[in-house]
Amino acid sequence: METATTKSRTPSRCREWERNRRNKFNDAITRLGEVVKEINRASNASKDGDNVQYPKIEIVEKAIICLTSCVHEKTQLKAEILALQVKIDSENKQKENKKDASTQVFLNKSKKRQSD
């Protein structure tokens, strides 16, 4: 007894599905390759490899390197932001503890008036 799914799974239908899957994968790799080329071009500031077509494995390897580099850079930037925030906070605390000369003069005059 054959079901509807068994009838639709003919060898030609399977080849068509596989061809569509392969085309989607190749399109995705091509787009990834363009992104990797653009990132490399921006970071190297040279146009040596503008029309170079990389093999699929090289595209994936370069994408891994780019992503790893981005993660590392993001971590460094977060650390720098945290260090700057700590520095700003400490400087703000120092400013709060120090009174400027005009405030001190005003306070001294008001104390003298109160004592008179």
The number of beta carbons lying within 10 Å of the beta carbon of residue 36 is 21
pLDDT tens, 97-108? Answer: 776 655 566 666
The residue type of 88 is I
pTM of the model: 0.61
pLDDT tens, 9-50? Answer: 899 999 999 999 999 999 999 999 999 999 888 887 655 556
> Mean pLDDT for the chain?
84
The number of beta carbons lying within 10 Å of the beta carbon of residue 59 is 20
**DSSP string over 54-82:** --HHHHHHHHHHHHHHHHHHHHHHHHHHH
Longest dimension (CA), the chain: 113
Where do runs of H (alpha helix) occur along 1-116? Answer: 4-8, 11-44, 56-97, 101-115
